[in-house]
């Protein structure tokens, strides 16, 4: 309890609250603009946090993370283009409601469903993360190696539409992570005499490049133009945009059920908010007595999608905090930000830095409160950002990316790394290769290599060490099962598509 | 399908070059030292594993293409040209960063960016191209105490 009070007193400092409020507004705005994602917002903010204390730094990042996913629902309802991939399912019914003059109602329902989903996931985070960390404390190098094999496999096979491309991306991430001094003997690998490469490729320029710069290159293909009609929040009768008891009754069960699905999906590495929102939406449609109304303006479709995608925010942090395994790109970036702050994430964080853990709990909760407050009060003005031409936004983002990447180590080399990562991310996008497995594999490779080599030193080179430890063997079996299941599912889907011609 | 095959083949070739040319360039000196007794595997193991995995998965992509890619959008008239323009401009920006300084390089690149992508609202683009770099530089130097490359004109805030 003392830790909660101390964390709350830090978060409630006026300067910190101001940072949280500002990042919440920026998060909603960035989330609302199609093409600017939550991941990009968090990635852009990381360089700014380097010179901050841990509390304001995490408040800024969690404010962006927590609010950005809700922001995506604004463009989903008004533009029929989700601001973030996580809101794609929201657009199915949200835009239809907008066309019926009920955009404000859709946004209100989206907001309260998001708040429920977020709150539910924070409760799960507080309850589950410490227990998981307790279990993880018993892991030795062999168990950690196999856990990381499992995490890398699951991230790779579940992240994209193609299992092979996901695995390829993860392997590429591992390859890039081998650049720099090897972690055991400090022997340089692929540094080509460049001093800046001795410590390896810096995380932040890499992730800014993969997510922000690659997105800019992709948007430049269409000259940053978007041809859809923007609906106005002012359209429609006032009475039609009120939430009535009947609406609450209609949405309650879908919101609760989708929150559960979202939280569960968030805990699994590699799936993320976009998958959660579609699963929540699909399950609500399946359970509905009127499934034919979905896609034509069913309010419970909006509620289910938003509850599910926001339930990912807290639950994705469970494996990140307890096992140092990020579930999706935003949590991978949060993990890097904590490392920059000198906080070692993993099971020991609950013993060594409990203050940081409790601060994260409180910050996530406050980000949710701030999102609800800002969105409820400023929904109309925020909706106007959709009219800002993107051709003005991206050069400004480029300028921020260049400044942020330079500022990390004060060298232009890192800025070139950022651009290189941007080109790589763009090429991967063209060829349909998911970027998330690359980033997560890049982050996990160093601990993976360390634990694997430690395990092999202990076993004097025998690979049997991974089969003799029951927990290690369990994770290996899970990894194989995950691949087998995904291959079977792809095969079955291929057959079904073939049968349907 | 053809796109995936080309992508898979090129990636597999690069993977093979990495495995057979780049990885052997890592020094094997550690095996001569006293520490070799303790270390059962050396610094080449992980690069080998990752290089082999990249090659294997690239071959599998080439053998079993799924056709899920965005090449169609890239091949639309003018799309590749516009993307290439953005990429070249971004590299020019970074190349100019130290010689000209952050502010001047940013003003020039932002201006070129707006013009290059067909924006002609001068009353908007001129102030944005000038104010944004100054504001970003002021934010980094004033708030975070980080001096971005001053280049030709060292402006301090």
The pLDDT value given to residue A236: 62
CB contact under 8 A, A185 and B43: yes
Nearest CA in chain A to B41: A453
CB contact under 8 A, A223 and B80: no
Is residue B32 less than 8 Å (CB to CB) from chain A? no
Query: What does the mean pLDDT of chain A come to?
Result: 86
Which ipTM score applies to this complex? Answer: 0.92
The pLDDT value given to residue B112: 94
Contact yes or no for A202/A469 (Cβ under 8 A): no
pLDDT 10s digits, A31-84: 887 767 788 888 888 888 888 889 999 999 999 988 888 888 888 888 776 667
pLDDT tier, A497 (very low <50, low <70, confident <90, very high otherwise): very low
pLDDT at A178 over 50: yes
Q: CA A32, B91, A385: angle at the middle one, nearest 5? A: 15
CA–chain centroid gap for A58, Å, is 15
- Chain B interface mutation, best of A22, A145, A178, highest count of B Cβ atoms under 10 Å: A178
Give the domain extent around A60.
Answer: 2-387+394-499
State the alpha helices, DSSP H only, in B18-144. Answer: 45-63, 71-74, 79-100, 102-116, 122-138
The pLDDT value given to residue A501: 40
For B:116-155, CB contacts with A below 8 A are: 117-119, 124, 128-129, 132-133, 136-137, 140, 144-146, 148-149
pLDDT at A255 over 90: yes
Instruction: Considering only the beta carbons, identify the residue of B18, B30, B140 that sits closest to A187.
Output: B30
pLDDT 10s digits, A358-367: 999 999 999 9
The pLDDT value given to residue A124: 93
CB contact under 8 A, A187 and B41: no
The pLDDT value given to residue A477: 93
Contact yes or no for A44/A401 (Cβ under 8 A): yes
pLDDT 10s digits, A335-386: 888 888 888 888 888 888 888 999 999 999 999 999 999 988 888 887 777 7
pLDDT 10s digits, A285-294: 888 888 888 8
- Chain A interface mutation, best of B53, B63, B96, B141, highest count of A Cβ atoms under 10 Å: B53
pLDDT at A172 over 90: yes
Is residue B27 less than 8 Å (CB to CB) from chain A? yes
For B:64-83, CB contacts with A below 8 A are: 64, 66, 68-71, 73-74, 76, 79-80, 82-83
Between A387-396, A487-496, B136-145, the lowest mean confidence (pLDDT) is in A487-496
The pLDDT value given to residue A160: 66
**What are the 10-residue block averages of pLDDT along chain B, 157 residues in total?**
89 95 83 66 89 95 84 85 95 93 94 90 91 90 81 62
Is residue B85 less than 8 Å (CB to CB) from chain A? yes
pLDDT at A486 over 60: yes
Q: Tell me the chain A residues in contact with residue B7 when contact means C-beta distances shorter than 8 Å.
A: 431, 433
Q: Which sequence spans correspond to the domains of chain B?
A: 2-69, 76-143
Q: What distances in angstroms separate CA B87 from CA A217, A422, A423, B101, one per listed residue?
A: 7, 9, 8, 20
Among residues A296, A463, A408, the alpha carbon closest in space to that of B144 is found at A408
pLDDT at A214 over 80: yes
pLDDT 10s digits, A108-142: 999 999 999 999 999 999 999 988 888 888 888 89
The pLDDT value given to residue A304: 93
For A:135-174, CB contacts with B below 8 A are: 161-162, 164-165, 167-168, 171-172, 174
Is residue B106 less than 8 Å (CB to CB) from chain A? yes
CB contact under 8 A, A168 and B58: yes
- Chain B interface mutation, best of A142, A153, A159, A220, highest count of B Cβ atoms under 10 Å: A220
Is residue A445 less than 8 Å (CB to CB) from chain B? yes
pLDDT at A488 over 70: yes
Q: Tell me the chain B residues in contact with residue A457 when contact means C-beta distances shorter than 8 Å.
A: 38-40
Q: Tell me the chain B residues in contact with residue A187 when contact means C-beta distances shorter than 8 Å.
A: 26-27, 29-30, 42-43
> Could you write out the DSSP letters of every residue in A430-496?
HTT--SHHHHHHHHHHHHHHHHHHHHHHHTTT-TTHHHHSHHHHHHHHHHHHHHHHHHHHHHHHHHH
pLDDT tier, A224 (very low <50, low <70, confident <90, very high otherwise): confident
Average pLDDT over residues A189-197: 88
Domain count for chain A: 1
The pLDDT value given to residue A365: 93
């Amino acid at each position: 309890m003392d830790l909660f009070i101390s964390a709350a007193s830090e978060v409630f400092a006026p300067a910190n609250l101001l940072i949280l409020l500002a990042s919440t507004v920026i998060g909603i705005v960035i989330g609302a603009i199609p093409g600017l994602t939550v991941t990009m917002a968090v990635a852009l903010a990381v360089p700014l946090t380097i010179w901050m204390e841990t509390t304001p730094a995490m408040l800024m990042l969690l404010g962006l993370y927590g609010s950005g996913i809700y922001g995506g629902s604004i463009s989903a309802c008004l533009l029929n283009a989700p601001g973030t991939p996580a809101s794609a399912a929201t657009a199915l019914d949200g835009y239809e409601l907008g066309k019926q003059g009920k955009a404000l109602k859709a946004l209100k329902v989206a907001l309260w469903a998001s708040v429920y989903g977020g709150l539910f996931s924070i409760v799960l985070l507080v309850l589950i993360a410490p227990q998981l960390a307790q279990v993880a404390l018993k892991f030795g190098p062999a168990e950690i190696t196999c856990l990381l094999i499992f995490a890398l496999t699951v991230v790779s096979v579940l992240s994209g539409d193609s299992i092979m491309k996901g695995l390829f991306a993860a392997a590429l991430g591992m390859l890039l992570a081998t650049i720099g001094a090897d972690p055991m003997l400090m022997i340089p690998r692929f540094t080509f005499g460049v001093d800046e490469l001795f410590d390896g490729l810096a995380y932040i320029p890499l992730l800014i490049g993969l997510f922000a710069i690659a997105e800019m290159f992709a948007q430049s293909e269409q000259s940053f133009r978007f041809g859809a009609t923007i609906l106005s929040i002012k359209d429609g009768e006032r009475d039609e945009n009120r939430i009535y008891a009947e609406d609450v009754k209609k949405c309650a069960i879908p919101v609760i059920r989708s929150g559960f699905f979202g939280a569960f999906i968030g805990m699994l590495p590699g799936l993320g908010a976009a998958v959660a929102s579609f699963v929540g939406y699909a399950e609500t449609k399946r359970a509905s007595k009127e499934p034919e109304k979905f896609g034509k303006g069913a309010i419970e479709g909006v509620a289910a999608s938003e509850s599910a995608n926001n339930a990912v925010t807290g639950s994705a942090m469970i494996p990140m905090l307890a096992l140092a395994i990020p579930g999706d790109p935003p949590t991978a970036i949060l993990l890097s930000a904590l490392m920059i702050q000198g906080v070692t994430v993993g099971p020991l964080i609950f013993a060594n830095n409990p203050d940081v853990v409790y601060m994260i709990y409180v910050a996530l909760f406050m980000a949710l409160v701030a999102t609800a407050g800002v969105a409820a009060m400023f929904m109309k003005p925020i909706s106007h950002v959709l009219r800002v031409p993107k051709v003005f936004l991206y050069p400004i983002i480029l300028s921020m990316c260049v400044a942020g990447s330079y500022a990390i180590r004060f060298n232009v080399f890192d800025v070139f790394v950022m651009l290189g990562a941007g080109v790589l991310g763009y090429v991967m996008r063209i060829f349909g290769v998911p970027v998330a497995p690359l980033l997560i594999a890049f982050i996990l490779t160093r601990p993976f290599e360390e634990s694997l080599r430690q395990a092999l030193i202990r076993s004097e080179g025998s690979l049997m060490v991974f089969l003799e430890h029951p927990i290690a063997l369990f994770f290996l079996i899970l990894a194989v099962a995950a691949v087998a299941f995904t291959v079977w599912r792809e095969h079955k889907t291929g057959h079904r598509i073939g049968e349907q011609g | 399908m053809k796109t995936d095959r080309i992508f898979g083949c090129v990636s597999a070739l690069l993977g093979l070059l990495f495995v057979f040319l780049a990885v052997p360039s890592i020094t094997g000196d550690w095996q001569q030292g006293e520490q070799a007794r303790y270390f059962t595997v050396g610094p080449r193991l992980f690069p080998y594993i990752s290089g082999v995995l990249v090659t294997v998965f690239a071959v599998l992509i080439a053998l079993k293409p799924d056709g899920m890619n965005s090449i169609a959008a890239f091949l639309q008239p003018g799309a590749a040209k516009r993307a290439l323009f953005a990429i070249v401009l971004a590299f020019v920006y970074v190349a100019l960063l130290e010689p000209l300084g952050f502010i001047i390089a940013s003003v020039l690149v932002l201006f070129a960016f707006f013009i290059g992508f067909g924006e002609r609202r001068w009353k908007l683009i001129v102030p944005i191209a000038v104010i944004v770099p100054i504001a970003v530089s002021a934010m980094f130097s004033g708030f975070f105490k980080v001096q971005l490359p001053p280049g030709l004109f060292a402006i301090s805030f």
